[in-house]
Amino acid sequence: MRKASLGTAAFALLTLTSIAFGAPAAEQKGPAACATMRAAFKAMLEAEYAFGQKAQTSVAGAFLEYLAEDSWVLNPAPAPGRPIYQAAKESKNTLEWYPAIGDVAPSGDLGFTAGPWVYTNFDSGKKLYGHFLTIWKRDVACQWHVQIDGGISHAMPKIAEPNLLPGQAAVSATEQPPANLVAQDAAGHAVSDFQDTARRDGVAAALRTYGRDVDFVFFTDGQSPIGGAAAANEYLNEHPIKGAWKEVARGRSADASLMYSVGELADSNKRSTHAYVQIWQYDPKVANWGLRVLLVNLLPPPKEQS
């Protein structure tokens, strides 16, 4: 979740670094006459800003307005999103955020945003900081809703990131994957192969093969977002992560160019140790899907039963 717990401490969320923008392309319409490509990206960003503006009045109300019915949030483990905010109590504490980067599938029905958040305790004035990651999904009425919400917490950033504004929206140079690869579920095989390698040899080893070279971003609590597979590998070699991946939710865009997986990592005793979010994107240069974003957060140990 946007890591600020509504009545107490802060929820953790996430961001990304750079994004490769492609040349402007002719606008298209999807099967429901919804915008695709640049116009879809613009509409998604407008929804993100409206979401943040609504939160200035009511954080719980904002999430209940924008969370999809089948949404998931990291709390800190993956959990259905709407019940959490339906049970939340309002307070005078504030949660502010804005998108710094994002992207959308060429089909225009699935995308993500990420950027910094600040949580302020009304009574003490204490501020907590982090980055959020939100996966957005468009409904049949062309309205955008939050499908997945998660993030990280870290120290106060030294440099403020620029806002990604709707008028600046440009999709990355991603093509729709060939129909034969979609039919073969090549994206699903990439996810499985990555997770098998990570379980056997560690996440760092898996990233060397499956992480996108240019725009990969790694998120974990206590660290600012780490851009680039090489930098993420360096961190993960010093802080190794291994375990079995237990998926709780998966989704993809209509053209299968963008896909996400959400779940938990478990140790040899089948105890959940980490929560994760993966975002995969088709790369026409290699005719396969690469890992665009990976969030892995340590989960607190289970409470001992008395």
Higher pLDDT, 21 or 83: 83
- 243 Rama sector, left if φ>0, alpha if ψ -120 to 50, beta otherwise: left
Q: Are 112 and 103 in contact (CB under 8 A)?
A: yes
Q: Are 201 and 193 in contact (CB under 8 A)?
A: no
Closest CA to 250 of 239, 240, 262: 262
pLDDT number for residue 33:
82
Alpha-carbon torsion 300, 301, 302, 305, what sign? negative
Reported confidence tier of residue 3, pLDDT bands at 50, 70, 90: low
Query: How far is the C-alpha of 38 from the C-alpha of 267, rounded, in Å?
Result: 42
Percent of the chain with pLDDT over 90: 80
Q: Does residue 17 have a pLDDT over 70?
A: no
pLDDT number for residue 20:
31
- Whole-prediction pTM: 0.89
Report the SS3 class of residue 261: strand
pLDDT number for residue 213:
83
Q: What is the mean pLDDT of residues 214-229?
A: 95
Look at 44-53, 167-176, 269-278, 282-291 and tell me which has the smallest mean pLDDT: 167-176
Beta strands in 105-243 (DSSP E): 110-120, 127-138, 144-154, 217-219, 226-227
pLDDT number for residue 174:
72
Count CA atoms within 13 Å of residue 174 on its CB side. Answer: 32
B/e letters for 161-175, b = 16+ CB within 10 Å, e = fewer, are beebebeebbbbebe
Q: Which amino acid is at 153?
A: S
Q: Are 7 and 88 in contact (CB under 8 A)?
A: yes
Report the SS3 class of residue 151: strand
Q: What is the mean pLDDT of residues 31-39?
A: 81
Q: Which domains are delineated in the chain?
A: 37-168 (3.10.450.50), 179-298 (3.10.450.50)
